[in-house]
Amino acid sequence: MDYFEYREGQLWAEEVRVAELVERFGTPLYIYSAKTLTRHFLAFDAALKGLDHLTCFSVKANSNVNLLRHLGTLGAGVDIVSGGELYRAVRAGIAPAKIVFSGVGKQAHEIREALSAGILMFNVESSQELECIGRIAQEMQTVARISIRINPDVDPKTHPYISTGLKENKFGLDMLEATGAYLMARKHPFLDPVGMDCHIGSQLTQIGPIVEALEKLLVFTDRLHASGIAIRYLDLGGGLGITYDDEQPPLPADLGRAISTALAGRELTVILEPGRAIAGNAGIMVTRVLYTKKTPMKHFVIVDAAMNDLVRPSLYGAYHRICEVTPTDRGLMTVDVVGPICESGDFLAQNRLLPALAPGDTLAVFSAGAYGFSMASQYNSRPRSAEVLVDGEKSLLVRRRETYEDLIALEVE
């Protein structure tokens, strides 16, 4: 459930008219709902009630420091994949003891920064990375808590670009190699193997693959325990899907029940890393129609948002529901909604049935709160859009619109 709804012939974000925000901040514009973020985070946190657990928001989904701060006040930890995300999390006030560092390509300076901050643990993706962390920890004379990311070779039944738990994917170690990594970590005086990690993919619409992976992990933890390695943290990643179109993904409560059943009688702290499921439907992107165009083959609606603002449709062929901010009673027509960028792949929707649109109309692109602005770029030297956080009747500009000066601010002339 989200708090974007139509009332009085207008789209509202909580208690603020979206049209009013467009008048104040222009387009393209990202709008987030604090109430939706709260609801979704608490749904995950409540799903694990009765288990020792930590709900870590996946920063890559939406890294705005104001959203991270809001989630932090609710008790969230974070899952990060870069030194920049660590910097954002610390600036947002997230306790380092609630930060987990994932990702296959951690650089030496990022490892040092994370150790200096005192994060909870590293999710290690390769044997060479483990050796690097051990070497840096020894240089710094500090103990690095580590978790090995296991690749369980489980099909998550999602888009291949966001599948991460198959043996052909770049992520994690198989259990044979992971066994050697754990034994090496146990012997190392500056490594503490405290956890096990697994993340099989994103936009998952079934619990079965998650449970299958969990069962494999539990067998492996028992084997490690027999070797004298006691796993305390079990990080199951994120990946639970959301509704973009007609998907019916499981609820956090469904996932929580499955995890609780599987872990009955075990003393493990469970970590979940939801990103999309918390932020996805907590945000929309609003764009304005510039022109309409008819060719012998197509009807085009040309808008001021482009693939640099929201790349998911171009990158994944992803579907986002698109509706008028102020609905009209015009007849429907099949159109491509496209942006100004000089690429045929620059589109927000193709062959979409929408009301007949005219220049000046505004459209809301729904489910844009995750992997929307966080994947935005300045391609074609287009300044990135503004971001606004709505909380009840209040609206806060949480990122100003970039200017032309911002485009070249870092370039040496």
pLDDT band of residue 157 (cuts 50, 70, 90) is low
pLDDT band of residue 171 (cuts 50, 70, 90) is low
| 275 has binding-site annotation | yes
Q: Is the pLDDT of residue 280 over 50?
A: yes
pLDDT band of residue 385 (cuts 50, 70, 90) is very high
Q: Is the pLDDT of residue 161 over 50?
A: no
From the options 3.40.50.300, 3.40.50.2000, 1.10.645.10, 2.40.37.10, give the CATH code of 4-32+280-408.
Answer: 2.40.37.10
| Separation of first and last alpha carbons in the chain | 49
Interval 89-136: pLDDT, tens: 999 999 999 999 999 999 999 999 999 999 999 999 999 999 999 999
Spatial contact of 113 and 122, defined as CB atoms under 8 Å apart: no
Domain boundaries, the chain: 4-32+280-408, 34-278
Q: Is the pLDDT of residue 384 over 60?
A: yes
What value does the mean pLDDT of the chain take? 93
* Percent of all residues in the chain with a pLDDT value above 90, rounded to a whole number: 81
Q: Is the pLDDT of residue 25 over 80?
A: yes
What pLDDT is recorded for position 174?
A: 87
What pLDDT is recorded for position 169?
A: 54
Mean pLDDT of all residues in 54-66: 97
Q: Scan for tokens 């000066």, then name that residue.
A: 405
| 371 has binding-site annotation | yes
Q: Which letter does DSSP use for residue 229 in this model?
A: -
Question: How far is it, in rounded angstroms, from Cα 276 to Cα 299?
Answer: 32
| 223 has binding-site annotation | no
| 32 has binding-site annotation | no
| 125 has binding-site annotation | no
Catalytic site includes residue 132 = no
Is residue 341 helix, strand or coil?
Answer: coil
Question: Which range in 43-47, 84-88, 330-334 is most confidently predicted, on average pLDDT?
Answer: 84-88
Structure-token pair, residue 250 = 């499981």
Spatial contact of 96 and 142, defined as CB atoms under 8 Å apart: no
Q: Is the pLDDT of residue 165 over 60?
A: no
Mean pLDDT of all residues in 77-82: 98
Greater confidence, 190 or 219?
190
| 312 has binding-site annotation | yes
What pLDDT is recorded for position 394?
A: 98
Q: Is the pLDDT of residue 162 over 50?
A: no
| 28 has binding-site annotation | no
Q: Which of 56, 132, 323, 342 is catalytic?
A: 342
Q: Is the pLDDT of residue 332 over 50?
A: yes
Helices (H) and strands (E) in the chain, counts: 12, 20
CB atoms within 10 A of CB 51: 16
CATH class of 34-278: alpha beta
What pLDDT is recorded for position 155?
A: 59
Mean pLDDT of all residues in 56-85: 98
Structure-token pair, residue 231 = 């796993």
Interval 193-216: pLDDT, tens: 999 999 887 788 888 888 888 888
Q: pTM for the full model?
A: 0.93
Q: Is the pLDDT of residue 327 over 70?
A: yes
What pLDDT is recorded for position 69?
A: 98
Spatial contact of 197 and 123, defined as CB atoms under 8 Å apart: yes
